[in-house]
């Protein structure tokens, strides 16, 4: 993940700082000389995330719901889908736009809050996974790419 650091959050006297976080690795706190360089790096980061997600297409994580083992798939076209390994069918599917929130315990438990498109009621899906951090970073990448893809000029832009 890429995050521009607010001036009030700087840990030293440097300006134009940003944070790069990857799953399973230490965060990197970096800076550049100008605001324009920072905007270029941020734009390049988002463009590369979009390109990677669109090329990947989908990613599945092993999860458990209750006592059942299942596969949570993040799919560029479909959104979120839970595949039941026993019945070989999808238990549920939601578009990325239906995700209204999420929470986790930082270890293995994840709650996804989706808005039902028919009833408008929020439905919570509780999952457990041994690869929570990777799943969260992947979710962030897919959601970032979806938001960026709404603006066709974004992916074709070279500099802000």
Q: Is the pLDDT of residue 159 over 60?
A: no
Mean pLDDT throughout 119-128?
97
31 and 67 assigned to the same domain: no
pLDDT in tens, 51-79: 999 999 999 999 999 889 999 999 999 99
Q: Which pLDDT belongs to residue 155?
A: 58
pLDDT in tens, 77-107: 999 999 999 999 999 999 999 999 999 999 9
77 and 118 assigned to the same domain: yes
Supply the range of the domain harboring residue 138.
Answer: 57-149
Band (pLDDT 50/70/90 cuts) for residue 6 is: very high
89 and 113 assigned to the same domain: yes
**Stated pTM of the model:** 0.83
The number of folded domains in the chain is 2
SS3 call for 8 = helix
Q: Is the pLDDT of residue 153 over 80?
A: no
Work out the percent of the chain whose per-residue pLDDT is above 70: 94
Closest CA to 134 of 62, 31, 50: 62
Tokens 């390994």 found at: 85
Strands 17-20 and 2-4: antiparallel
Strand order in the sheet with 79-84: 89-94, 79-84, 68-75, 58-65, 122-128, 109-115, 99-104
Q: Which pLDDT belongs to residue 157?
A: 61
71 and 120 assigned to the same domain: yes
41 and 84 assigned to the same domain: no
Q: Which pLDDT belongs to residue 154?
A: 66
28 and 105 assigned to the same domain: no
Lowest mean pLDDT among 15-24, 48-57, 113-122, 129-138: 15-24
């Amino acid at each position: 993940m890429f995050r521009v650091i607010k001036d009030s959050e700087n840990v030293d006297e440097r300006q134009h700082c940003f944070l790069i976080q990857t799953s399973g690795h230490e965060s990197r706190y970096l800076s550049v000389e100008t605001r324009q360089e920072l905007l270029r790096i941020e734009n390049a980061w988002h463009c590369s995330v979009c390109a990677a997600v669109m090329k990947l297409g989908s990613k599945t994580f092993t999860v458990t719901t209750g006592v059942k083992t299942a596969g949570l798939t993040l799919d560029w076209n479909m959104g979120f889908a839970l595949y039941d390994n026993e019945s070989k069918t999808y238990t549920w599917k939601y578009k990325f736009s239906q995700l209204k929130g999420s929470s986790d315990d930082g270890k293995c438990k994840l709650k996804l809050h989706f808005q039902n498109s028919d009833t408008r009621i929020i439905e919570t899906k509780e999952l457990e996974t041994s690869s929570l951090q990777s799943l969260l970073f992947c979710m962030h990448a897919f959601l970032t790419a979806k938001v960026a893809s709404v603006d066709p000029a974004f992916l074709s832009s070279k500099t802000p």
